[in-house]
Amino acid sequence: MKIALAQQNYIIGDFEGNFEKISDAIDQAIQQNTDLILFSELAICGYPPRDFLYFNHFIEQCELIINRICAIAQDRIAVVIGAPSKNPIPDGKDLYNSAYFIENGKVKHITHKTLLPTYDVFDEYRYFESNRTFELVEYKGKKIAITICEDIWDTGETNPLYTVNPVEELAKLQPDFLLNLSASPFNYKQAIKRIEIVSRNASAFNIPIFYCNNTGAQTELIFDGGSLVIDNQGRLIDELPYFRTAQKYYELDVNNTIQIINDIQNSNTKDEMALIHDAIICGIKDYFGKLGLKKAILGLSGGIDSALTLYFAVKALGKQNVLSVLMPSQYSTNHSVDDSLKLVENLDTSYKIIPIKEAFDVLDKILQPHFDGKPFDVTEENMQARIRAIYLMALSNKHGYVLLNTTNKSEAAVGYGTLYGDMCGGLAVLADIYKTQVYDLCRWINRNDEIIPKNIIEKAPSAELRPNQKDSDSLPDYEILDRVLFEYIENIKGPDEIRQILGFEEALIDRILKLVNRAEFKRHQTPPILRISPRAFGSGRRVPIVNKYCQ
């Protein structure tokens, strides 16, 4: 049996566009005399559709596309593809998350997803009913098990999340091989873990597995692809490229031995910095491309965060589509402007210089009578940040740019930013990357040539909103801060556990956690954050704004 994996990049709700991609893949597979082609989870509508699933019209469009796929497949190829399906039973949710098996131009079988995740960014039980029966599909003398994404991730560890293991149940029916349709979001630990999970299932149950994953970005979620073929002993036969579409063919013989038919040039790396680098570029490119946007603008301060954001914007959108705005204040150092100019020269991109002192002096003069003689404080600092936001948003509105936010995860965590100032933007590029990771990424980018000026990387970080200001005046050193934040946010450890793990003083840990929890109201008002970690701010971390925990 000849099997094709179609790793594709869909747009949620773009039924016609998604159908064209699916149709082209089917046509190519037919030309290669393929018996079966496998697509990813909810490929018809795009993943995650979220509350669009409540619209009857949305579900009807999915059904129409399924009918059109049946018409083009006819008796020439079998198609396995993901789409929502209606639950005919009144009890329970109205929909299933399903895999359609299409043969001879008809829907031969519909397999429903069993395990519906509700952790991290997932909220599938909000929409879908869980499968409770397990059956195989017979096709051309082979017995096929079909699972959907999460169904293969419950591998029976000491504390399993679910009470049933779908692969174990299907293995009892002795399938020849297993197909898995996935839409598994990227994080920088996912590539290795994915291979481990799929391999563990294959070897434990003596089943070859064909795993087809989504690729591309959907707002904050990034999908890296990396679709897999694993033999029945858990050995990796093939892995499709990361962050791009691909279609590949495999021959399954009578002994269920797998042979690769066509070879795609593929040099996947598991290097963490390389993965984050490619994921961010994918996230920006698809956010703009899928919304029909082209041009980005950002404030370039001379600091490392805006420098890295500019680099990513140029890589994703092209130098001709990115504008940097330097907005020095009376507190800006000369090297901030010089470093910024060196960076835009290295990247060969456009810039403007618009000082903010004149606007600040006017605004300060108007407000001073109402400040009742109180001294300079964070108020005046925030005024400067908000003046810069006015400049950037004015240029954005006038010329059709999208403002990129340059806040990093460390700053977002402790609220070290100004609402309606430097926290403005249409997309937060770095807000899931800790400050120490920002430095690591810049050094990685400079591994062959100095693209980001050395002085930007080496100088002490500063917001430059008051004389001789440094981040360390307000925050612990980032090397310390990020270690505490990682334990609290990613590892979900409380203050006592963090003290035991890191050995830091109680007062320091309590201060950091208090900053994090008090800043929740700011994070609720920030742009979408490109997710690259196992636990990002946004839909994957749900914390109440009003709280007294660790305060």
Give the strands of the sheet with 228-230, arranged side by side.
137-139, 142-148, 177-181, 209-212, 228-230, 236-239
The answer to whether residue 41 is catalytic is yes
Give the 3-state secondary structure of residue 535. Answer: coil
The answer to whether residue 424 is catalytic is no
Peptide linkage before 48 cis (omega within 30 of 0)? yes
Rounded-to-integer distance, Cα 80 and Cα 152, Å: 17
Residue type, 410: S
**How many C-beta neighbours within 10 Å does residue 183 have?**
23
Q: If we measure between CA atoms, which residue out of 222, 226, 263 comes closest to residue 241?
A: 226
Q: Is the distance from CB of 445 to CB of 277 less than 8 angstroms? A: yes
Rounded-to-integer distance, Cα 134 and Cα 112, Å: 9
Per-residue CA distances from 290 to 14, 55, 219, 293, 373 (Å):
10, 22, 9, 8, 51
Which backbone phi and psi does 190 adopt, to 5 degrees?
-70, -35
Q: In the chain, how many H helices and how many E strands?
A: 16, 20
Give the 3-state secondary structure of residue 241. Answer: coil
Tokens standing for 287?
A: 């956010």
Rounded-to-integer distance, Cα 297 and Cα 388, Å: 12
Distant-in-sequence, close-in-space partners of 86: CB < 8 Å, separation ≥ 6: 59, 94, 95, 96
Among the listed residues 21, 62, 103, 113, the single catalytic one is 113
Q: Calculate the CA dihedral of residues 2, 114, 542, 316 and round it to 10 degrees.
A: 10
With tokens 């307000």, the residue in question is 474
Tokens standing for 402?
A: 């999208």
Per DSSP, which regions of 437-488 are E strands? none
Q: Is the distance from CB of 180 to CB of 245 less than 8 angstroms? A: no
DSSP label of 234: S
Which backbone phi and psi does 471 adopt, to 5 degrees?
-55, -35
Tokens standing for 213?
A: 């994953």
The answer to whether residue 149 is catalytic is yes
Element (H, E) at 191: helix 190-205
Which backbone phi and psi does 187 adopt, to 5 degrees?
-145, 165
Tokens standing for 131?
A: 């499968």
Tokens standing for 215?
A: 């690729």
Among the listed residues 45, 149, 212, 442, the single catalytic one is 149
Active site residues: 41, 113, 149
